[in-house]
A and B are shown apart, each in its own frame.
Chain A
Amino acid sequence: MDNIYFLILRRMRKPLLALVTVYSVAVFGLVLIPGRDADGTVWYLGFFHAFYFVSYMATTIGFGELPREFSDAQRLWTVFCIYLTVTVWIYSVGSLIALLQDESLQRALAERRFAASVKRITTPFFLIVGYGQTGRDLVRALTSERRRAVVIDIDRERLNGLQLEKLREFVPSLQADAQCPDVLLSGGLRHPMCQAVLALTSSNEVNLKVALAAKLLHPEVTIIGRSDSHDISANMLSFDTDYVLNPFEIFALYLRVALTAHCHTVLNDWLGALRGAQLGEPRKPPSEGRWILCGFGRFGKAVYRELSPGGTELMVIEQSPEHTGTPSTAWIHGRGTEAETLEQAGIREAVGLIAGTDNDANNLSIIMTARVLNPELFVVVRENHMVNEDLFAAVDADIRMHPSLIVANRIRTLLRSPLLARFFDLARDQNEEWACALVSRVAAMIQEQAPEVWEFGIDGDDSPALMDAADLGLKPHLVDLLKDPRAVDASLSAIALLHQRGTRLDLLPDPHGTLIQPGDRLLFCGSASARTRMRWNQVDIDVLSTTLGRPPQVGWLWRQLRPHLPARWQT
């Protein structure tokens, strides 16, 4: 990075040489040219006086003629020198200013500032490459939870947007091409506090390169990449990228679950909601009948792959089948924005419509036209651009799907609570009755707001009291942790969702039958007050002892001494 200074100095060479040359010429001229007194005596300026005169003359201050009045020959030389020195000064100062405004220098300075502020981060942080809609949503969510993020994007406009955001944490950002590993390194790829690298640019190739560079330069770090192409996804997975997220597949899966398993959808929505979000009951889509799918691009294909094996009757409308290919079942050539095409697809008998083209105006138009033909339709719409948000809100579709926000949501879950992501994976294999039972249990604990979801490990940081309990030979069960420390007979309004011991995952563990051991991890959901009260059981050994029905524990010193004391003192 010292190159910048050398660059400055190197560029300053010519102006400095010009200054030295012009000054020397001016001084020598003055020394050589004779002066003449009033009485005709010839005198010469010494080097010192000549340099003194040139110094003030060159900067155009003009003290007059010192130390004695000049002869005309000297004046002629002075006139020449004035223009020469002023010119060379303007040139020197001008080139210095040009140098400071130089784009490469500015960029180098910005990169230096960025690298320095990343280096100063002392808490865990996430390196986010690409500040599009996904990136912005994630940065907002992370900083609102007081977590740090570092952003790299190639577009200056987007980063200007970042600087205008009111975020709780300072987010260092750099405008640079993340395909260059140096940029990733100055973004803290090798920083010991770097928790994860998120490659979220709109280009699959860039995401691939970022994931590859991250894997090579810092193999331990978690890598999450976005990709909506099968080839690139497979490529990323081939070198152990931790998570590859395809927004279209995520949504297609969501849609399938939404169509076939209503309770699962509710569970997903509630547990995955932002903290403190207001809850609404998702609308229940019709499970029987014909669906019309407009657009057979990447999104349409993903939906088709998920839905058609499940027996849903799908009618595809595609405008340019020569680009996208055609489905194996019946399909109709057209845009779907005209009533005629929709009529052909059987809109009047259909129960649902999925407007999934990559053009927002078309999607809106499809919905408007279809609603006129069949007001009862269940409508799913794909939103492509955030700017059209208000239009989509006005059209009031039953499910709105925004690829960027879907990815952001999934990543938030992965980063905030890895166990919750595992829980969703396991829950998907459970049947609908299981999900409905869990939904009613959760519903009983909460009011309007989304349930709090939290996880912790049985270790010294998260739950010192449980570690002490293990040392003391106490055997707390999960049910003890769920007791209210203020009223031991009552239990907290919280549900243990997942219990992890080593590689074993226990879905909805039995509170009475589950022993808690050091090294376990637990996932809970429940009310916010339950979370704070459970914390007492985690951190205070006295509270935990009371909960377990034991007398309060003695202090640390006494515990150290007790084994060495006579037996009668041991009670």
Chain B
Amino acid sequence: MNLEKVVFGFFIFLALTLNFGFFVGEIDNPDHHHLREFVILFIVNAVALIMKIGDRSQVDAMLLATGLVAMLQLVGAAIIWILAAHVWESGMTASVMASIVSLAGGAMVANIISVVLLIAETVMLRR
């Protein structure tokens, strides 16, 4: 067993599970989607992205790509959230919440792909 691999896998799975936890609920209901959960999800994704940096194989490259995609969508969601909470007069409306959650959903798809890639690589290694 390799501790580095454990930590690596831990952050990738945690990113996906947190993402799922944030995503579930009515898409436009702000009560179903918590800010603190989002911040933690954001940080865990950032850590997962950094962990993916600096490996060389083809699978590693794909992992890095999924991490970048997830991060891009989460940054988008965070910016919209900040704008809605502090800048826009309308505040946090149902449609804004819906777009934040849908961006987080996109990030979740990227996270699912990255988990699939990780599992696929592990399975290939067994053979």
Contact = CB atoms under 8 A, between A and B. Distances in A.
A20 B54 contact: no
B53 A12 contact: yes
B43 A20 contact: yes
Nearest to B11: A17
B50 A27 contact: no
Contact of B51 (A7, A13, A27): A13
B97 to A, nearest CB: 16
Interface of A is mostly: helix
Nearest to B83: A48
Contacts of A436: none
B85 A46 contact: yes
B53 A10 contact: yes
A47 B43 contact: no
A16 interface: yes
B46 interface: yes
A13 B54 contact: yes
A440 B88 CA distance: 102
Interface string B65-95: 0000000000000000010011000000000
Given A3-B56, A6-B55, A20 B39 contact: no
Interface of B is mostly: helix
Interface string A5-46: 011011111001100110010011001000000000000001
A48 B53 contact: no
B98 interface: no
B35 interface: yes
A6 B51 CA distance: 12
Contacts of B47: 17, 20-21
A20 B46 contact: yes
A145 B81 CA distance: 70
B53 A27 contact: no
B46 to A, nearest CB: 5
B56 A6 contact: yes
B66 to A, nearest CB: 16
A9 B61 CA distance: 13
Interface string A261-303: 0000000000000000000000000000000000000000000
Contacts of B39: 27-28, 47
Contacts of B86: 46, 48
Contacts of A21: 47
B82 A48 contact: yes
**Residue in A7, A21, A27, A48 whose Cβ sees the most chain B Cβ within 10 Å:** A48
Contact of A20 (B50, B53, B56, B82): B50
A23 to B, nearest CB: 8
Given A3-B56, A10-B55, A24-B43, A48 B50 contact: no
A16 B85 contact: no
B68 to A, nearest CB: 13
A48 B43 CA distance: 14
A12 B54 CA distance: 9
**Residue in B39, B50, B82 whose Cβ sees the most chain A Cβ within 10 Å:** B50
24 contacts: A6-B55, A6-B56, A9-B53, A9-B54, A10-B53, A12-B53, A12-B54, A13-B51, A13-B53, A13-B54, A16-B50, A16-B53, A17-B47, A17-B50, A17-B51, A20-B43, A20-B47, A20-B50, A24-B43, A28-B39, A46-B85, A47-B35, A47-B39, A48-B85
The 7 closest A-B pairs by CB, nearest first: A10-B54, A9-B54, A24-B43, A9-B53, A16-B50, A48-B82, A20-B46
Interface of A: 3, 6-7, 9-13, 16-17, 20-21, 24, 27-28, 31, 46-48
Given A16-B50, A20-B50, 4 more contacts: A6-B55, A10-B54, A11-B54, A24-B43
